Amino acid sequence: MQKVLLILNREPYDGTDVTWNALRLAGKLLEKGAIVRIFLMNDAVDLARNETVKPENYDQDLVVMLKELIERGVPVKVCGTCMARCGIHKGKPYFEGAEKATMNDLTEWVLDSNKVLTF
């Protein structure tokens, strides 16, 4: 079984479809039987905060999409250092299912993955 790690770096609602496409890919990989893990870094940490609200001009709620992936068993880890340094909601807590993590955690996931994709 393939283990795929998706590393997201971008602000969730940055005017592009990058984060949306990463989350869509995660769902499709699950459907194909892959083991999917998501690590949020840099401004992507806001994706795991309840304070992040979908802007009116977006048709997809990315936070809801991430929560649905968590409900489907996708582990989500979030860079603890980035929590204090990055995103609009710096220092705010993560919602349930998103685990505060370290660079060591990311290193372990990278070494234990067949494929690593960054967005």
Query: Where residue 104 sits, what CATH number does that domain have?
Result: 3.40.1260.10
Domain coverage including residue 46: 3-118
> Dihedral of the CA atoms 25, 41, 110, 63 (nearest 10)?
-30
Q: What whole-number distance in Å separates Cα of residue 10 and Cα of residue 33?
A: 26
Encode the chain (119 residues) as per-residue pLDDT tens digits.
999 999 999 999 999 999 999 999 999 999 999 999 999 999 999 999 999 999 998 999 999 999 999 999 999 999 999 888 887 887 778 899 999 999 999 999 999 999 999 99
Cβ-Cβ contacts under 8 Å for 31 (sequence gap 6 or more) = none
As beta bridge partners, residue 116 has 5
H or E stretch at 68: helix 62-71
Q: What whole-number distance in Å separates Cα of residue 82 and Cα of residue 49?
A: 13
Split into its structural domains, the chain has a count of: 1
Confidence at residue 30, expressed as pLDDT on a 0 to 100 scale: 98
**Do the beta carbons of residue 116 and residue 8 sit within 8 Å?**
no
